[in-house]
Structure 1
Amino acid sequence: MKKRITGALCALILILAVILSSCAGTEPRSASFQSMDTLMSVKVYGGDSDLCDRLQRRIDSLDAQLNATDENSDVYQLNQNGKADVSGDTADILTRALRLSKELDPAFDITVYPAVKAWGFCSGDYRVPDDDELKKLAAKIDDTAVKTDKNTFTLPEGVMIDLGAIAKGYAADQCDAILKEGHAAAAVLNLGGTIKLYGKKPDGKLFSVGVADPDNPAGYFGYLSCEGGVMATSGGYERFFDLDGKRYIHILDPATAAPVENGVRSVTILCDDGSAADALSTALFVMGLDKATAYYQIHPDFDFIILTDNDELYITEGIMDDFTLSDGYDFTIKSVEIATAQTDTSR
Structure 2
Amino acid sequence: MGSTGHLVVAGGPETDLVQAARSRLEGLESLWSRFRADSELCRLNASPGRWVELSPPTVAVVRQAVRAWEATDGLFDPTVLPALEAAGYTGSFEDLPREQLSAPRLDRVPGCAGIDVRDDRVRLPPGVRLELGGIGKGYAADLVAQELLAAGATGACVNLGGDVRAAGTAPGNATWVVGVEDEARPGTDLAWLGLREGAVATSTRLRRRWRQRGQERHHLIDPSTAAPTANEVTTVTVVAGEAHWAEVLAKAALIAGVDAGRALLETHQVAGLLMKKDGTAHPAGPWERFVAWTPNCGGISPASAG
- Shorter-chain TM-score tier: 0.7 to 0.9
1:168-219 superposed Cα distances (whole Å, 9 cap, x missing partner) = 1111121132122222122222212111222233334322222122222222
- Counterparts of 1:227 and 1:180, CA distance in 2: 15
Contact conserved, 2:66 with 2:112, CA < 8 A, in 1?
yes
Equivalent AA in structure 2 for residue 77 of structure 1: R
Which position in structure 2 is the counterpart of 1:262?
Answer: 231
Equivalent AA in structure 2 for residue 118 of structure 1: A
Contact conserved, 2:149 with 2:168, CA < 8 A, in 1?
no
**Which runs of 5 or more structure 2 residues have no equivalent in the other structure?**
299-306
- Counterparts of 1:81 and 1:243, CA distance in 2: 30
Equivalent AA in structure 2 for residue 114 of structure 1: P
1:75-102 superposed Cα distances (whole Å, 9 cap, x missing partner) = 1011112232211111111111101111
Note closer, same or farther for the CA distance 1:149–1:188 as it changes in structure 2 (3 Å cut): closer
- The CA deviation at 1:61 is 1.5
Aligned 1:230-245 pairs, distance under 5 A: 230-242=199-211
Which position in structure 2 is the counterpart of 1:51?
Answer: 17
Q: Does 1:224 align with 2:196?
A: no
Aligned 1:272-283 pairs, distance under 5 A: 272-283=241-252
- Counterparts of 2:260 and 2:149, CA distance in 1: 37
Note closer, same or farther for the CA distance 1:230–1:297 as it changes in structure 2 (3 Å cut): closer
Q: Does 1:145 align with 2:110?
A: no
Which position in structure 1 is the counterpart of 2:35?
Answer: 69
Q: Does 1:134 align with 2:106?
A: yes
Describe the SS at the equivalent of 2:133: coil
- Counterparts of 2:117 and 2:214, CA distance in 1: 44
Equivalent position to 2:277, from 306, 309, 319: 309
Q: Does 1:93 align with 2:61?
A: yes
1:119-146 superposed Cα distances (whole Å, 9 cap, x missing partner) = 111332534446xx321xx1x4221122
Contact conserved, 2:235 with 2:274, CA < 8 A, in 1?
yes
Query: Normalization by structure 1: what TM-score?
Result: 0.77
- The CA deviation at 1:148 is 2.8
- Counterparts of 2:73 and 2:284, CA distance in 1: 22
Aligned 1:1-347 pairs, distance under 5 A: 36-49=1-14, 50-82=16-48, 83=50, 84-123=52-91, 124=96, 126-129=100-103, 133-135=105-107, 138=108, 140-242=109-211, 246-300=215-269, 302-323=270-291, 324-326=293-295
Contact conserved, 1:48 with 1:182, CA < 8 A, in 2?
no
Note closer, same or farther for the CA distance 1:181–1:297 as it changes in structure 2 (3 Å cut): closer
**Which runs of 5 or more structure 1 residues have no equivalent in the other structure?**
1-35, 330-347
Contact conserved, 1:54 with 1:178, CA < 8 A, in 2?
no
- The CA deviation at 1:40 is 1.1
- Counterparts of 2:176 and 2:118, CA distance in 1: 42
Greater radius of gyration (CA): 1
Query: Normalization by structure 2: what TM-score?
Result: 0.87
- The CA deviation at 1:161 is 0.6
Describe the SS at the equivalent of 1:177: helix
- Counterparts of 1:315 and 1:45, CA distance in 2: 32
- Counterparts of 1:63 and 1:328, CA distance in 2: 39
Note closer, same or farther for the CA distance 1:261–1:46 as it changes in structure 2 (3 Å cut): same
Contact conserved, 2:88 with 2:103, CA < 8 A, in 1?
no
Note closer, same or farther for the CA distance 1:201–1:235 as it changes in structure 2 (3 Å cut): same
Structure holding more strand per residue: 1
Which position in structure 1 is the counterpart of 2:302?
Answer: none
- Counterparts of 1:43 and 1:148, CA distance in 2: 34
* 317-326 vs 157-166, which moves further: 317-326
* 153-162 vs 71-80, which moves further: 153-162
Equivalent AA in structure 2 for residue 85 of structure 1: E
- The CA deviation at 1:327 is 5.1
1:34-60 superposed Cα distances (whole Å, 9 cap, x missing partner) = xx2222121211113411011112211
Equivalent AA in structure 2 for residue 64 of structure 1: S
Note closer, same or farther for the CA distance 1:317–1:103 as it changes in structure 2 (3 Å cut): closer
